[in-house]
Amino acid sequence: MSEQYKSREERRKQQQQSPKPKKKKSGKTLFKKIFLTLIALGIVGMIAGAATFAFMVKDAPELDPALLKDPIPSVLLDINGEKITEVGAGNLDYVEYEDIPDLVENAFLATEDVRFYEHNGMDLIRLGGAVIANVTKGFGSEGASTITQQVVKNSFLNNEKTISRKAQEAWLSFQLERKYTKQEIFEMYVNKIYMSENSHGVLTASRLYFGKDLDELELHEAALLAGMPQSPNNYNPFTHPENAEKRRNIVLSLMNQHGFISEEQKTEAQSIPITEGLVPEGEREIEDDTPYDSFVDVVIDEVTEKYPDLDIFSDGLTIHTTADKDIQKYVSNILNSEDVIQYPDEEFQAGITLLDSSNGEVRAIGGGRNQEVKRGFNFATDQKRQAGSTFKPIAGYAPAIEFNQWGTYHTLVDEPYKYSEGTEVNNWDNSFKGTMTMRQALAESRNIPAVKAIQEVGTEQSMEFANRLGFNFKDEYYESSVLGTKAVSPMEMAGAYSAFANEGFYTDPHTVKAIEMRDGTKIDTTPESEAVMNDYTAFMITDMLKTAISSGTGTTANIQGLPVAGKTGTTNYTAEEKQKYDIPNGATPDAWFAGYTTNYTAAIWTGYESRKTYLPSNGYDQKIAQMLFKNIMQYASEGKETADFKMPNSVEKVAIEKGSNPAKLASEYTPSDQIITEYAVKGNAPKTVSEKFDKLEAPNGFNAKYNKEANTIELVWKHKDKDNTQFVVTGAINDGGAQELTTTSETSLTIENPEPDSTYTFTVKAVQDGKESDAAQTSVNIPSNEEEPEEVEPPEEETPGDGQQPPGDEEGGNDNENGNGDGNNSENGDGNGNNNGEGNDNNNGNENGNGNGNEDNSEEENQSPEEEPSPPDENPEE
């Protein structure tokens, strides 16, 4: 027992001395640690978030009371950084909060911030919905701005959608709510909002659109105004009534949803036409003293279209434009006065775009004549009319050069012709001029060669090329498009022609170079230039268009001493229109001119707003576009060096024989007045040399012998191709004039009863297929009745060395009986003469061939030096 007890005691002691096993931690302990950890992380996160927030808002602007009350206009600067004008200033009728009816306030609250009187600047419920939308659809996809935040944004910040900007907006909204009452903030909001038509504030808009003060507005009218701030220009009831009506009805639904109006009120108001209550168009008065209105109009549209988050009327932007103030003033003056051009009447209109050829920057815009409404219809950008023949280079000839490597000499036939589908094509003068070069066809504005050009390249390639130049044609592009049946604007045409001026590089026409925010952020808005054609295409079109101005249809636009290229264009009336509107023959609805120098490109449309009013064919009205171009281009170019267009290395000059079809190179025999200098894509020039003016081999062995017994002169000559050749023989007595004796296919002629004691001089030349040779000449003396006859040899010339032909002698001597052997066909058969058989057109030696008796046909000498070719004759009418 004692041993067992001891053992138990020992085991107990051992157990007491050995370590106890660890117990598992309770769940409460683990939770406590996690909780503490989260608390710590939360504190760290809060500190980090606070630090980040503090960092984001450290550059937030101060709350400036002046900025809270008034919209901030944007400043427009010209190319030299000088102020042109301010946009967004001046058109504001201020309203105090006490004068805002509940109807108007409720409409805005339901639309913009229904919990406005419940939050402290940030609507967390609305923010939560926006956060979910931004996570699922991308940051910035949905806004959560309260009225307070909109006041802050419109007064101090830009519209950039970044976390930093939103943080600053939240901070300033909190500050604004602490400093001002809700009523004051609402007053700021309704006076600051932009309401289109260069106006700000709800009272201004009420008077502008309805001619009423706020307390006179009806429900549907208040709802329309409350819906506009989201997108003022798109919801403008004057210009976009359908959009405005849809937006108004949404506002009415929101008012009903939030308990401001009943279902019946909503339904009744939604049924009212949007135009009901609007100020009639003829009574609308929009005060705007903005200078350079046409240019500013395009700047506003460009900023709004490209940067919809910016409000040029209230964001206080600095817009760096491309305008040249001096040129813009000149364009405005030439359109709205008769200091330079006498216009036919007050209704005559014009649209003008002048831009820098090298970069697409618009220097001046002429939006129309006698415009009374600011931001009205702009004939330079809004106008879309058929371009007429100004489109021929774009749709026909340039693609033919680009894709088919045509040269300026490419031969086309102006003849009765039809489109591929069978309709006849007519020229403007209802005549046909036959074979002509592409240069002549373009310069004289012939329609049929242009149609043949687009047929050669195909309408698909033609449209592709046109779209490279800034157009956006997608369908309904036919062969007739080359004649300018597509409707385009002067802005588009100027952009397209500038690519020809700029060696094949196109840049979108633009009026804005950079936009600077109030916080100093600057956006570079300059578009990139793009190569849209080969330099050889641009150069050859340009060179042909220089001809169009110098001697073609555009001579009225020509500027002495200025390298300028350009093209006229007129359009037609249909037979139905002529009958309906009593249009006389020759009248046209549109007259265009598009042209350029290396510095500037201009496109000008003239006509009337309605096609019913025509431009008569009186030699003046249809040329006003050319007059405008000439005067504007002259003014813009004064004091500025204007370089000529440079021929690129991809082009080579070629001398072409006029009238050859297909085009052939001029030969050494082509007369200088039949040679034209043209251009070819290098490596694609014609290879064939014309033979039209090649000279026949002259008759040789020409001899005159007096037969005393018969009292006749016997003429004989030889020619290698006598069976297919006619010979023209002339004769002269003593020093008298030569007379044609006969044209014969024979190689001999007998002259009967010559005058005694006279010297007869004869010539003979070969004629074949319109070609003729040089003349061979010989003489003979007729003795008096008492004297023996004496034969006269040709005058001797200095004899060159062996193997050389005497300069200027293509006949190689005379065929006389004495047989001098100097390359002549003599009866004694020496045949060794000084020329050794190399005389031109000679039979050397006798006919038995004892040595050098072979006939030599070489024509290497006596060629007149090549003359500078003259340009083709062209008629200056379209």
383-414 tens-digit pLDDT: 899 999 999 999 999 999 999 999 999 999 99
What is the domain-level CATH number for residue 250? 1.10.3810.10
Read out DSSP for 790-824? ---PPPP----STT-PPTT-SS-S---TT---SSS
- Between 777 and 824, the more confident residue is 777
Overall domain count for the chain:
3
Whole-angstrom distance, CA of residue 489 vs CA of residue 482: 16
Q: Is residue 459 part of a domain?
A: no
Q: Is residue 831 part of a domain?
A: yes
Identify the CA nearest to 453 among candidates 493, 408, 498: 408
Segment 542-582, tens digit of pLDDT: 999 999 999 999 999 999 999 999 999 999 999 999 999 99
675 membership: H or E segment, kind and range = strand 675-681
Whole-angstrom distance, CA of residue 383 vs CA of residue 360: 19
249 and 301 housed in the same domain? no
120 and 235 housed in the same domain? yes
Point out the domain boundary residue: 584, 617, 648: 648
Q: Is residue 232 part of a domain?
A: yes
Find the DSSP H helices in 58-122: 65-69, 102-112
Whole-angstrom distance, CA of residue 656 vs CA of residue 390: 27
Q: Is residue 253 part of a domain?
A: yes
pLDDT at residue 49, as a whole number:
52
Q: Provide CB contacts within 8 A for 804, sequence distance 6+.
A: 835, 838
Confidence of residue 816 (pLDDT cuts 50, 70, 90): very low
pLDDT at residue 375, as a whole number:
66
Identify the CA nearest to 159 among candidates 178, 146, 140, 180: 140
574, with CB counted inside 10 A (0-12, 13-18, 19+), is: exposed
134 and 242 housed in the same domain? yes
Task: Tell me the residue ranges of DSSP E strands in 587-642.
Answer: 590-596, 600-607
- Written as one letter, the residue type at 403 is F
Whole-angstrom distance, CA of residue 196 vs CA of residue 244: 12
- Between 351 and 156, the more confident residue is 351
149 and 211 housed in the same domain? yes
Whole-angstrom distance, CA of residue 761 vs CA of residue 794: 10
Whole-angstrom distance, CA of residue 408 vs CA of residue 680: 7
173, with CB counted inside 10 A (0-12, 13-18, 19+), is: buried
716 and 814 housed in the same domain? yes
Reply yes or no on whether 112 is catalytic: yes
Q: Give the number of other CB atoms < 10 A from CB of residue 738.
A: 13
Q: Is the dihedral of CA 217, 218, 219, 223 positive or negative?
A: negative
Domain hosting 616: range is 292-305+319-386+486-524+554-648
- Between 47 and 724, the more confident residue is 724
- Averaged pLDDT for residues 402-429: 96
672 pLDDT higher than 70:
yes
Confidence of residue 178 (pLDDT cuts 50, 70, 90): confident
188 and 260 housed in the same domain? yes
Q: Which of 112, 302, 503, 838 is catalytic?
A: 112
Per-chain mean pLDDT for the chain: 83
Q: Is residue 23 part of a domain?
A: no
pLDDT at residue 537, as a whole number:
98
Whole-angstrom distance, CA of residue 209 vs CA of residue 196: 10
Identify the CA nearest to 256 among candidates 309, 206, 219: 219
DSSP-derived 3-state class of residue 288: coil
261 and 300 housed in the same domain? no
Segment 617-632, tens digit of pLDDT: 999 999 999 999 999 9
pLDDT at residue 836, as a whole number:
37
- Averaged pLDDT for residues 62-80: 78
Do the beta carbons of residue 845 and residue 524 sit within 8 Å? no
341 and 233 housed in the same domain? no
821 pLDDT higher than 50:
no
- Written as one letter, the residue type at 174 is F
Q: Is residue 736 part of a domain?
A: yes
Do the beta carbons of residue 717 and residue 776 sit within 8 Å? yes
Compute φ and ψ for 304, nearest 5 degrees: -65, -40
Read out DSSP for 148-159? HHHHHHHHH---
873 pLDDT higher than 50:
no
The encoded tokens of residue 800 equal 């060159």
DSSP-derived 3-state class of residue 708: coil
Task: Tell me the residue ranges of DSSP E strands in 343-490.
Answer: 349-356, 362-366, 385-386, 411-414, 417-418, 424-425, 434-437, 487-488
- Between 854 and 432, the more confident residue is 432
- Between 856 and 380, the more confident residue is 380
Q: Is residue 336 part of a domain?
A: yes
DSSP-derived 3-state class of residue 276: coil
DSSP-derived 3-state class of residue 596: strand
Find the DSSP H helices in 430-526: 438-443, 447-457, 459-468, 490-501
CA-based angle 872:876:878, to the nearest 5? 120
Q: Is residue 681 part of a domain?
A: no
| Whether residue 872 has a cis bond before it, omega within 30° of 0 | no
218 and 114 housed in the same domain? yes
pLDDT at residue 2, as a whole number:
43
Whole-angstrom distance, CA of residue 191 vs CA of residue 104: 13
User: How many residues in total does the chain contain?
Assistant: 878
Q: What Cα–Cα distance (Å) separates residue 850 from each residue in 477, 526, 594? A: 76, 86, 74
181 pLDDT higher than 90:
yes
Whole-angstrom distance, CA of residue 791 vs CA of residue 776: 17
- Written as one letter, the residue type at 200 is H
Find the DSSP H helices in 554-641: 575-581, 624-637
- Between 795 and 223, the more confident residue is 223
Q: Provide CB contacts within 8 A for 589, sequence distance 6+.
A: 385, 571, 572, 573, 607, 608, 611, 614, 615
608 and 725 housed in the same domain? no
Reply yes or no on whether 177 is catalytic: no
139 and 179 housed in the same domain? yes
What is the domain-level CATH number for residue 582? 3.40.710.10
586 and 716 housed in the same domain? no
pLDDT at residue 17, as a whole number:
53
Which neighbouring-strand residues pair with 705? 714
- Averaged pLDDT for residues 180-192: 92
Compute φ and ψ for 39, nearest 5 degrees: -60, -45
The encoded tokens of residue 492 equal 């588009």
| Residue owning tokens 């397209």 | 496
What is the domain-level CATH number for residue 816? 2.60.40.10
Do the beta carbons of residue 198 and residue 206 sit within 8 Å? no
| Whether residue 662 has a cis bond before it, omega within 30° of 0 | yes
Whole-angstrom distance, CA of residue 418 vs CA of residue 175: 77
Q: Which of 199, 314, 389, 489 is catalytic?
A: 389
Point out the domain boundary residue: 622, 648, 674: 648
